[in-house]
Copies of this chain bind each other. A is one copy, B any other.
Amino acid sequence: MNFRNKYDEYLSFFEGELKQFCAEMKHFPPVLTESMRYSLLSGGKRVRPVLFFGSLSHFGGDYTKEARLAIALECIHTYSLIHDDLPAMDNDDFRRGNPSNHKVFGEANAILAGDALLSEAMCLLLGEAGRSERHLRAAQYLADAAGADGMIAGQSADLLYTGRTGDEKELSFIYAHKTGKLLTAPIVMAAILCGGDEKKAEEFGEALGTLFQLTDDILDEKGESAKMGKTLGKDREEDKLTCVKVYGMEGAELCADRTAAHCHALLRALGGDGFLASIVDLVRTRDN
């Protein structure tokens, strides 16, 4: 099976499970359910769930048994986007080609939708934690990755360094946390669940997270807004600390190429894998 077919298999399984999950959400008031569904079902590439399923397959696991961990992962990612788009944060009016959550439901409801999605993740993870010792550990890994030493530290650093001069060290902290933690988690969680090499999985995940944010920064500068589904050029406008600011565009592209090569080397150490290797190439060459 080629890469595209495999990606679609994972994606369509995930979309089916997520739709089911959303259909079963019957929170009151209706606006709460609607605002949660709006962002959860707004499409996107579902990189984290697909990476999780691909990694489970790589380590010899059955991905169809881990849908709820994948949904927890996507709930956390989605809540972070909703809060990140708020006027007090990145103030983005568009996300995935649609008006962002607060543009549709208002700021107060968007704050609550984000809180509710993080809470749903907490409930899902506690549900999974009861399945086995390994599930408990995988859930804990994700919770740590999402928290104050993980993704939120990256968001906070991103705010802190906006409008300031920053160097490579500060940039790499933002990359490792803001983006890296939640892209590393699905790979390490898969290793935990299947008894794979967690250390090597983590190294590969961290490199892939760096690559993802490098290309994100590059695309913010030279991508097409229609393809990306969000307003571009905002990093420069707001003077964010990005790889383009630190290295210049040529330097950033070079850095992305090197990081992609590093990802491939780490993947070989992890036992090689056609699907995950293609993910690396996709992340490097994507236009959205």
Contact = CB atoms under 8 A, between A and B. Distances in A.
A59 to B, nearest CB: 22
A153 B118 CA distance: 14
A106 B109 CA distance: 20
A116 B147 contact: yes
Interface string A82-110: 01001011000000000000000011110
A271 interface: no
Interface stretch (A10-18, A25-33, A273-281): A25-33
A93 B201 CA distance: 46
A121 interface: yes
Interface string A111-150: 1101110111111011101100000100110011011111
A128 to B, nearest CB: 10
Interface string A64-94: 0000000000000001100100101100000
8 contacts: A25-B148, A33-B148, A36-B148, A79-B115, A86-B111, A88-B106, A118-B118, A127-B140
Interface of A: 25, 27-29, 31-33, 36, 79-80, 83, 86, 88-89, 106-109, 111-112, 114-116, 118-123, 125-127, 129-130, 136, 139-140, 143-144, 146-150, 152-153, 155-157, 159-160, 173
